[in-house]
Amino acid sequence: MCQPKMHVPRGPAGAGRAGCTGALSGLLDGRRLLVFLVLGAVVLTACESVPEGPPPAALSTFSASDAWHHLETLTGFGSRQTGTRGAAQARRYLRKRLEALGADVDEVTLRLASEDEGPRELRHLVATLPGESSDRLVLAASYDSRALADVEFVAANASASGPALVLELARALSERSRPYTIVVALVDGDALPATGPDAQFSGSRSLASWLSEEAAGGFAKIRLAVFFQQVADPELSIARDLRSHPIYREFFWKAARDLGRESYFAPGASVESVDAGHVEFIDRGLLRSVVIADPRFGGPDVPGRYAGSVEDTVERCSRDSLGIVGDVALEALDRIAARLVRIDRFYSSPLGTYGPAPARMAAPSLSEDESGPK
């Protein structure tokens, strides 16, 4: 059967093609819409079929009770002079606790020449908690005690509070994601008599030398070293150390302020020089060092009436002070790591046109604003 011819009016040249194009475009738009609707339904179905899982785990916090237990245990070994049974017992305890966290622990034995007694062996513990980067944040404290004639000197605040705090910091950090490798350095020999006018902390000096020359990567791989010393004084007042790297030091003060602990890290305190093992690291060339210490133990003047005496006992120490310093340190370390991550990402991005980060961006110029991180 023949179909009647339809008359299609002619429009201006090209009008027919435009009409066809418009129709085709409409058809394609309709198909696209259909595809998006189908894909949307698939995505929604898939999302509904995947369980959300548990909420993210809370960040592990610092336990003042656990740190206090470590302090009591270390002082329970009695005097911990280098080379004594008490030092060996303390070292075994510290090593066992670090290994329980999953850390790789090395006992670094170094020989120290003494003018009076000949060569002496120092036994440092260096424990590693691997992070996403092999660059390292070092947490250090001395565990040996000085010799007092005819006295069992336990050095509770002098050299048990630092290792106790560092051990608990390591525990908390072991349960968190770590953008950088954490190294715990427990130093032997800092309580020995000085072997020269410029070498007060023999243990830290020997360890600094080993880290700079023999440890993998040397100082270039250490983004920051933080020393903890005398952090259990009931009248806690952390000194704003003059020789500590000012930018990284101020991270601790800002963290203390934000945590409501500024009375223990006084914002208006004048800077002063603190005698601790960090000076040996600085003298060796690691300027990225900070000390967290209260140089006054019993009274307003340095060193305080209990320092270096038989009265440096557990009874003169404070669990709360350990908790305060631990909370502040954990918060400051988190912020420092986050800052370094941002810097590293910039230098590895297309915008980082300046090449590798200078000194791994671990030592910002001392001319930067010393009022603290923004």
Kindly state whether residue 293 falls inside one of the protein's structural domains: yes
Indicate the range of 53-67, 137-151, 307-321, 355-369 predicted with least confidence. Answer: 355-369
| CA 52 to each of CA 39, 44, 326: distance values in angstroms, whole numbers, following the listed order | 21, 14, 34
pLDDT at residue number 346: 85
Q: What is the pLDDT of residues 195-240, one digit of tens each?
A: 665 567 999 999 999 999 876 678 999 999 999 999 999 999 999 9
Kindly state whether residue 184 falls inside one of the protein's structural domains: yes
How many residues are recorded in the chain? 374
Number of other CB atoms surrounding residue 101 within 10 Å: 18
* Number of domains composing the chain: 1
Q: Does position 280 have pLDDT exceeding 60, yes or no?
A: yes
Kindly state whether residue 86 falls inside one of the protein's structural domains: no
Kindly state whether residue 170 falls inside one of the protein's structural domains: yes
Rounded Cα distance, 104 and 321, in Å: 29
pLDDT at residue number 216: 66
Dihedral class, residue 355 (left if φ above 0, else alpha if ψ from -120 to 50, else beta): left
The CATH number of whichever domain residue 179 belongs to comes to 3.40.630.10
Kindly state whether residue 2 falls inside one of the protein's structural domains: no
Q: What is the pLDDT of residues 91-145, one digit of tens each?
A: 999 999 999 999 999 999 998 876 565 568 999 999 999 999 999 999 999 999 9
Kindly state whether residue 154 falls inside one of the protein's structural domains: yes
User: Higher-confidence residue: 58 or 338?
Assistant: 338
Dihedral class, residue 14 (left if φ above 0, else alpha if ψ from -120 to 50, else beta): left
**pTM listed for this prediction:** 0.79
Q: What is the DSSP code string of 144-186? A: -----TTS----IIIIIHHHHHHHHHHHHHHTS--SEEEEEEE
Q: Are 108 and 213 in contact (CB under 8 A)?
A: no
Provide the domain limits for residue 189. 93-358
Kindly state whether residue 369 falls inside one of the protein's structural domains: no
Kindly state whether residue 38 falls inside one of the protein's structural domains: no
